[in-house]
Chains A and B, each alone.
Chain A
Amino acid sequence: MKILVPIKRVVDYNVKVRVRRDGGGVETAGVKMSMNPFDEIAVEEALRLREKGVASEILTVSIGVPQAADTLRTALAMGADRAILVQSEESPEPLAVAKILKILVDREKPDLVILGKQAIDDDMNATGQMLAGLLDWPQATFASRVEKTADGLAVTREVDGGSETLALALPAIVTADLRLNEPRYAALPNIMKARKKPLETIAATDLGIDLTRRLAILSMAEPPARKAGIKVGSVAELVEKLRNEAKVI
């Protein structure tokens, strides 16, 4: 089986983002960038499927600025076999990303695409589902467990108030949730070796996809700080407020 793992370069999860004073975006100058943590989980799951003998080749793809090559190198250091960078000026919206990925899927013919359930920058939670729609493939979002079965995959997914298991025919799309696995470290020798693994670069503009944003960003702002509420004098008053004012119990 061949697995395609699309990954995204995002502001590192340890960094507190701040909105620029002009409200036009968040400050990214000198900010540490890393692989989207959910994508790291996706890479790890692909590696585990290969270690179980289910997968034979792992191809990783990123779409974005030239520095996204560093993110791909991280995936290669974790163990992916080769990488494709689709270079574009800015990070396209999920719909355009899904269209680009569809072209790569048509070219590379993977049996499975695993990707993070969402990127921790725009929190869109859409690319996997959109790609599944465009390809007319079955999808399992928010996966917490992936098993190869005789005729496809059994995927356990996190749903509201519990989990459920789906059987998917292949080829299929799986999006990774937090509990799917704990990604491995990229060991130093593997980082060194990853520098020699194949990384192909394609210009996004050469793929004939319209990258124009459909969602114009009018403004960005930090949410208003929470204000202190009131002090209540007794348990009875608290219960009364929660019932009749806040209506949360």
Chain B
Amino acid sequence: MTALVLLDAEDGTIPQTSRSAIAAAASLGDIDVLVTGGPDTIAAAAASAAKIPGIRKVRTASGEAFAHGLAEPLAALLVALAPDYDHIVAAATAIGKSTLPRAAALLDVQMIPDVMEIRDSQTFVRPVFAGNVLVTLRSSDAKKLLTIRTASFDPVAAEGGAAPIEALTPPDGQQKSRFVSAEHSSTERPQLEAARVIVSGGRGLQSAEGFKILEPLADRLGAAIGASRVAVDSGFVPNDYQVGQTGKIVAPDLYIACGISGAIQHLAGMKDSKVIVAINKDEEAPIFQVADYGLVGDLFQIVPALTAALG
């Protein structure tokens, strides 16, 4: 069996999410990776991809059409390469999620999104109902197209391999969509739903003023700031900070809950976080029942100390 993994390489580097997709594909036989991008980034991206261990070959396609990860040319390319592969895999990122279903339709395949476990070459586990249910599916399609829930797979190493690079001639296609502009929010704080790290505060912060203690920590971690309902209702922070049943549902790699008791309404919004840290003065607080690491104490001392320790 052979799998093709589509990498998000448009900026010339290979992100961790794509390396998680490679890790997921490891059980699916030989792995080729597909690297695409504009003429000015492709060489760097291909070189980075070639260093990833365990890759059979790196296939590249470049051109203006590939500079911004547009779904139409990428899907057409995947369709053209599909005869060589049993599985086509991508991380469940914006590009993977946009491209793979389109390619799957053209291949008459029912694609399988957000795979969190690969049982065997045709059996997959994925979340439904916002992660409240896990379903195990067996595909009867001859070819399988998957996107990978990256939090479920530890990424492979970035260095250590030396795979050969093969440049492809992409299929011609009429361009019906065109990239206009990007507005990256790299300097500001990330959005809650997209953040890799979230620092979140609750009643324990005591006031809007007290809540500000979280900002240096969030800055240090490149984290988004969230809040419990009580903190929002008490006016510490605006409504759109709210994480929980009636707010945003998040699943970052790291969720640091400061002064949050952990009522189920809040847990419903963050229980899928990969690692949960709880800082609370009440050692009976329910948040400790879900936290991987708990620290009992005064958050007005702990949070600045943590920020400093990370410094």
Contacts and interface: CB of A to CB of B under 8 A. Distances in A.
A24 B26 CA distance: 30
Question: Chain A interface: which size bin?
Answer: 35 or more
A26 B127 CA distance: 13
A222 B134 contact: yes
Interface stretch (A39-47, A67-75, A121-129, A198-206): A121-129
A213 to B, nearest CB: 8
Nearest to A134: B105
A38 B194 CA distance: 18
Contacts of A1: none
B101 A214 contact: no
A130 B309 contact: no
Given A123-B128, A142-B94, A94 B110 contact: yes
B212 interface: no
Contact of A214 (B134, B141, B181, B305): B141
Given A126-B104, A138-B176, A215-B138, A231 B274 contact: no
A241 B293 contact: yes
Main secondary structure of the interface of B (DSSP, over half): mixed
Contacts of B186: 161-162
A165 interface: yes
Contact of B179 (A126, A166, A215, A216): A166
A60 interface: no
Most chain B CB inside 10 Å of its own CB: which residue of A133, A139, A221: A133
Nearest to B246: A14
A231 B294 contact: yes
A208 interface: no
B109 A164 contact: no
B132 A222 contact: yes
A26 B110 contact: no
Contacts of A159: 94-95, 182
A229 interface: yes
Contacts of B93: 160
Contacts of A187: none
A26 B99 CA distance: 30
Given A231-B294, A232-B294, A164 B68 contact: yes
B116 to A, nearest CB: 9
A230 B182 contact: no
Given A138-B176, A163-B185, A172-B177, 5 more contacts: A17-B129, A95-B104, A124-B113, A217-B135, A226-B276
